[in-house]
């Protein structure tokens, strides 16, 4: 197949077939593009917020975003369960920006993310929003003591994780009294990972949070975001102990997508069969060299190092363009890799689940 650079799908197929051959590429599915469906919220956003949304290219809300805004602004807890890159974050960012700027009763917001990378991603996103009165800060294990004190005293949007809520905020709720008595929204991101024992722990944690909020006179609205799972409203309601409305009619546009299934044992014949790590390294190298930004996920920390090292060993010209990302790195190292990934400086990242969830790249 000829390489057609003006057609990203054709370019990707060329890379896959060249690297894998007919046997290694077990199945290839092309999912067609989908046009956007837009709508306006029933109650218009404040003029200053609507203008800022226009400046950032968010002027026309998609149908699921408008529906979610209507629910949470009226105090109804909701779960947004739409596809990847469907703008779920906007469903809570806009109501939060409106709440913290309320001239009569300014509110606060608490957002829980399962990974530090997601919290950092949302911190950047809130920074870009830059609306009057909005002060966002992360509060997790990477936050220095001085920064934690500053966040507690100054921030009205706290981005954290369940563990830090358990050990760093709720046991010291008296220090957070002002924040908690004004708490308007609680965001729980990546709902679909809150299952099993971990989900049970988070459910008890949210009930503890609600009891503390009740003591301080607040009753926050929950906003959950989730990948497309079955009956997400049931899981969300079980976690927070309140009725939750589901928003799952995805109105976002979607470009054409390719889904490829690879059989490593069928590549190169029985005497030269390659391991999954070797196949992954070859694909990452080929995709990056063809100017396709690439994320590869491994099940273990060691796997990320093996694959990234194999890429550079085979292709020394990719040194510095492909890096591993995993738990165990220093906070400064993770922030550096995240920054290089978001800016496009990195062509490829080989990661564990530490980077698996919905960051905006």
Residue 93 exposed, middle or buried by CB count within 10 Å (0-12, 13-18, 19+): buried
The strand pair at 257-262 and 25-31 is best described as antiparallel
One domain for residues 235 and 321: no
Pair of tokens at residue 6: 């003006």
- Alpha carbon distance 239, 222 (integer Å): 10
DSSP designation for 110: E
pLDDT of 339 reads 84
Tally of domains within the chain: 2
Q: Name the β-bridge partners of 351.
A: 297, 325
In a domain, 173, yes or no: yes
| pTM of the complete model | 0.76
9: alpha, beta or left? (left if phi > 0; alpha if psi -120 to 50): alpha
Q: What is the span of the domain harbouring residue 134?
A: 47-247
One domain for residues 310 and 179: no
27 phi/psi in degrees, rounded to 5? -160, 145
One domain for residues 241 and 284: no
- Alpha carbon distance 48, 58 (integer Å): 13
In a domain, 201, yes or no: yes
In a domain, 296, yes or no: yes
Taken as a whole, the chain contains a residue count of 361
In a domain, 184, yes or no: yes
- Choose the final residue of a domain: 197, 228, 247: 247
- Choose the final residue of a domain: 205, 228, 247: 247
In a domain, 209, yes or no: yes
Residue closest to 151 by CA, chosen among 136, 129, 161: 136
One domain for residues 232 and 94: yes
One domain for residues 132 and 212: yes
One domain for residues 51 and 193: yes
The strand pair at 245-247 and 294-297 is best described as unpaired
- Assign 3-state DSSP to the chain and report helix, strand, coil percentages, each to 5: 50, 15, 35
One domain for residues 52 and 176: yes
Q: Of all helices (H) and strands (E), which one includes residue 81?
A: strand 78-81
What value, to the nearest 5°, has the Cα angle with vertex 15 and ends 14 and 20? 105
One domain for residues 113 and 231: yes
One domain for residues 227 and 148: yes
- Alpha carbon distance 98, 156 (integer Å): 12
One domain for residues 243 and 282: no
Residue 353 exposed, middle or buried by CB count within 10 Å (0-12, 13-18, 19+): middle
What is the Cα 123 distance to its own chain's centre? Answer: 12
In a domain, 264, yes or no: no
In a domain, 256, yes or no: no
What is the Cα 102 distance to its own chain's centre? Answer: 27
- Alpha carbon distance 229, 235 (integer Å): 10
One domain for residues 285 and 241: no
Pair of tokens at residue 88: 């779920």
Q: Which three-class secondary structure state does DSSP give residue 150?
A: helix
DSSP designation for 147: H
158: Cβ–Cβ under 8 A, 6 or more apart, which residues? 108, 109, 110, 111, 136, 137, 138, 139, 151, 169, 179
In a domain, 292, yes or no: yes
Tens-binned pLDDT, residue by residue, of the chain (361 aa) = 233 345 788 888 888 888 888 778 889 999 898 999 999 999 999 999 999 999 998 878 999 999 999 999 999 999 999 988 899 999 999 999 999 999 999 999 999 998 888 898 899 999 999 898 999 999 999 899 999 999 999 999 999 999 999 999 999 999 999 999 999 999 999 999 898 999 999 999 999 999 999 999 999 999 999 987 889 999 999 999 999 999 999 999 988 889 999 888 888 666 566 788 999 999 999 999 999 999 999 989 999 999 999 999 989 999 999 999 887 888 788 888 888 888 888 999 999 876 655 455 4
Mean confidence (pLDDT) of the chain: 90
pLDDT of 254 reads 86
pLDDT of 2 reads 31
- Choose the final residue of a domain: 208, 231, 247: 247
One domain for residues 211 and 344: no
pLDDT of 354 reads 66
- Alpha carbon distance 46, 51 (integer Å): 9
* Predicted confidence (pLDDT) per residue in 244-267, tens digit: 999 999 999 988 889 999 888 888
CATH of the domain at 130: 3.40.50.300
């Amino acid at each position: 197949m000829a390489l057609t650079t003006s057609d990203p799908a054709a370019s990707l197929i060329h890379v896959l077939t060249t690297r894998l051959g007919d046997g290694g590429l077990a199945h290839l599915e092309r999912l067609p593009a989908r046009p956007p469906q837009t709508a306006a919220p029933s109650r218009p956003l404040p003029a200053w917020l609507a203008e800022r949304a226009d400046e950032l290219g968010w002027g026309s809300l998609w149908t699921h975003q408008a529906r979610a805004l209507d629910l949470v602004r009226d105090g109804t807890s909701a779960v947004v369960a739409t596809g990847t890159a469907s703008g779920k974050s906007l469903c809570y960012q806009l109501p939060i920006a409106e709440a913290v700027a309320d001239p009569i009763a300014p509110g606060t917001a608490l957002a829980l993310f399962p990974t530090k990378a997601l919290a950092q991603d949302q911190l950047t996103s809130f920074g870009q929003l830059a609306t009057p009165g909005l002060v966002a800060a992360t509060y997790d294990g990477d936050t220095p003591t001085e920064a934690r004190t500053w966040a507690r005293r100054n921030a009205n949007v706290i981005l954290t994780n369940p563990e830090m809520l358990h050990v760093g905020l709720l046991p010291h709720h008296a220090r957070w009294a002002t924040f908690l008595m004004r708490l308007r929204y609680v965001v729980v991101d990546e709902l679909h990972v809150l299952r099993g024992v971990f989900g049970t722990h988070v459910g008890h944690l949210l009930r503890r949070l609600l009891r503390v909020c009740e003591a301080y006179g607040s009753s926050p609205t929950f906003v959950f975001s989730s990948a497309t799972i079955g009956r997400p409203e049931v899981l969300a309601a079980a976690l927070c102990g309140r009725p939750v409305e589901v928003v799952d009619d995805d109105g976002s546009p979607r470009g054409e997508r390719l889904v490829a299934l690879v059989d490593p044992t069928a590549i190169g014949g029985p005497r030269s069969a390659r391991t999954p790590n070797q196949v992954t390294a070859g694909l990452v190298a080929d995709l990056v060299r063809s100017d396709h930004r690439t994320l590869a996920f491994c099940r273990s920390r060691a796997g990320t190092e093996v694959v990234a090292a194999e890429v550079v060993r085979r292709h020394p010209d990719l040194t510095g363009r492909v890096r591993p990302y995993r738990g165990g790195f220093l906070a400064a190292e993770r922030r550096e890799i995240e920054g290089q990934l978001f800016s496009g400086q990195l062509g490829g990242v080989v990661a564990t689940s530490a980077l698996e969830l919905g960051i905006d790249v």
